[in-house]
Chains A and B, each alone.
Chain A
Amino acid sequence: MENTTNTAAAVDNSEFSFKRASQAKEIWRRFRKSKGALIGLILLLIIVGVLLFAPLFISYDAAIESDFANVLAKPSKEHIFGMDGYGHDIFARIIYGGRTSLTIALIATVTSCLFGSALGAIAGYFGGWVDSLIMRSLDIFMSVPDILFTMAVVVALGANAVNLIIALTLAYFSNYVRLVRSQVLTLSEQDYVEAARAGGSGNARIILKHIIPNAIGVIIVNVTLNVAKIIIYESTLSFLNLGMPPPQPEWGMMLSEAREFMRPAPHLLIFPAAAIVLCACSVNLVGDGLRDALDPHLKS
Chain B
Amino acid sequence: MAEERTDLILDIKNLKVVYKTDMEVVEAVNNIDLKIGRGKTLGLVGETGAGKTTTALSILRLLPAVTGKVLEGEIHFDGQNLMEFDEHFMHAIRGNRISMVFQDPMTSLNPVLTVGDQIAEAISLHNDQLSKEEIDRKVEDTLSMVGILPKRKSDYPHQFSGGMKQRVIIAMALCCEPELLIADEPTTALDVTIQAQVLAMMRELRERLGMAMLMITHDLGIVAQTCDDVAVMYAGEIVEAGTVEDIFTGEHHHPYTVGLFNSIPNLDSRASRLKPIPGLVPDPTNLPKGCVFSPRCEHCTEICRQQRPETVTHGTHSLRCHLFAEKKEGGAAHE
Min CB gap B54→A, angstroms: 13
Quote the shortest CB–CB distance from A216 to chain B (angstroms). Answer: 8
Q: Which of A16, A17, A192, A198 has the most CB of B within 10 A?
A: A198
CA distance A8 to B111 in the complex (A): 26
* One of B95-103, B258-266, B275-283 contacting the partner: B95-103
Please measure, in the bound complex, the distance between the C-alpha atom of A201 and the C-alpha atom of B125, giving whole angstroms. 7
Docked CA distance A17–B110 (Å) = 20
* One of A9, A10, A14, A200 near B95 (C-beta < 8 A): A200
- What are the residues of chain A within 8 A of B141 when measuring CB–CB? 1-3
Assuming the A-B contacts A3-B141, A8-B197, are A200 and B113 also in contact, with contact meaning beta carbons closer than 8 angstroms in the complex?
A: no
B41-73: which residues lie under 8 A (CB-CB) from chain A? 60, 62, 65-66
B164 contacts A12, C-beta separation under 8 Å: yes
**A131: min CB distance to chain B, Å:** 11
**When the two chains form their complex, are residues A9 and B147 in contact, meaning their CB atoms are under 8 A apart?**
yes
- Give the chain A neighbours of B99 by CB distance below 8 A: 198-199
Contact A195 B92 (CB under 8 A): no
Distance between Cα atoms of A9 and B144 in the complex (Å): 10
Digitize A1-37: 1 where CB-to-B-CB distance is under 8 Å, 0 elsewhere: 1111010111011101110100000000000000000
Interface presence of A248 (CB below 8 A): no
A200 with B155: CB separation less than 8 A = no
- A202 and B100 CA atoms in complex are apart in Å by 16
Q: Does B224 contact A (CB under 8 A)?
A: no
Give the tally of cross-chain contacts (CB within 8 A): 116
User: How long is the Cα–Cα vector from A2 to B161 in the complex, in angstroms?
Assistant: 24
A213 touches B112 (CB 8 A): yes
Query: Does A14 contact B149, Cβ atoms closer than 8 Å?
Result: yes
CB distance from B255 to the nearest CB of A (A): 35
Contact with B along A206-245 (1 / 0, CB 8 A): 0001100110100000000000000000000000000000
How many B residues have CB within 8 A of the partner chain?
Answer: 52
Is B149 a contact partner of A213 (Cβ separation < 8 A)?
no
The reply to whether A197 and B154 form a contact with Cβ atoms under 8 Å apart is no
Q: How far is the CB of B100 from chain A (nearest CB, A)?
A: 4
Contacts of B126 in A (CB 8 A): 200
Give chain B residues whose Cβ lies under 8 Å from the Cβ of A128: 65-66
Chain A residues lying within 8 Å of B81, measured Cβ to Cβ, are: none
Is B104 among interface residues, defined by CB-CB distance under 8 A? yes
- Contact yes or no, A192 B66, CB < 8 A: no
Are B100 and A198 closer than 8 Å at their CB atoms?
yes
Is B94's CB within 8 Å of the partner chain A? yes
Q: List 13 A-B contacts (CB under 8 A).
A: A4-B145, A6-B146, A8-B147, A9-B197, A13-B147, A13-B152, A14-B149, A128-B66, A194-B102, A195-B108, A198-B95, A198-B99, A209-B113
